[in-house]
């Protein structure tokens, strides 16, 4: 059974940094596409970043140059380093995984590509 447990969320001021972690169990992240989504109150779910089994990463335009997705295959943990945070980054952040595909679909940002979702960790950025 796949389990994804996020941690590292919190409250920061604009310009600050946070690192989110996602501990995976029940499958091996090095074999599959994984990523991060977020959802702010009253807004649609948004794909933030994804990384393939081979380490190829992709980002939504609004976070490019500020966020970095990475993974520690030995520890089976996915990370999202978030720098230069803006109030618009405030949202619940979810770790996601595809337990079937090593590459990330070109439409990964739609969310339907991923079969497993964590419970989320809240990120709040104040101005």
Which are the contacts of 10, defined by CB distance < 8 A and separation ≥ 6?
18, 122, 123, 124
| CB distance 81 to 67 below 8 Å | yes
- 77 DSSP β-pair partners: 23, 72
pLDDT digits (tens), the chain, 127 positions? 899 999 999 999 999 999 999 999 998 999 999 999 999 999 999 999 999 999 999 999 999 999 999 999 999 999 999 999 999 999 999 999 998 898 999 899 988 899 999 999 999 999 9
Whole-number Å distance between alpha carbons of 125 and 127: 7
Question: What string of DSSP letters covers 72-125?
Answer: ETTTTEEEEEE-S--GGG-EEEEEEE-SS-SSPPTTGGGSTT--EE---EEEEE
């Amino acid at each position: 059974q796949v389990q994804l447990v996020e941690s590292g969320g919190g409250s920061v001021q604009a310009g600050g940094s946070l690192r989110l972690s996602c501990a995976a169990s029940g499958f091996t992240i090095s074999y599959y596409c994984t990523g991060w989504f977020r959802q702010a109150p009253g807004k649609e779910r948004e794909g933030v970043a994804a990384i393939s089994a081979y380490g190829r990463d992709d980002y939504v335009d609004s976070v490019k140059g500020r966020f970095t997705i990475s993974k520690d295959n030995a520890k089976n943990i996915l990370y999202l380093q978030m720098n230069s945070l803006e109030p618009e980054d405030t949202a619940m952040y979810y770790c996601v995984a595809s337990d079937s595909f090593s590459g990330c679909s070109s439409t990964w940002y739609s969310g339907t590509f991923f079969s497993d979702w964590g419970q989320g960790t809240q990120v709040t950025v104040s101005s």
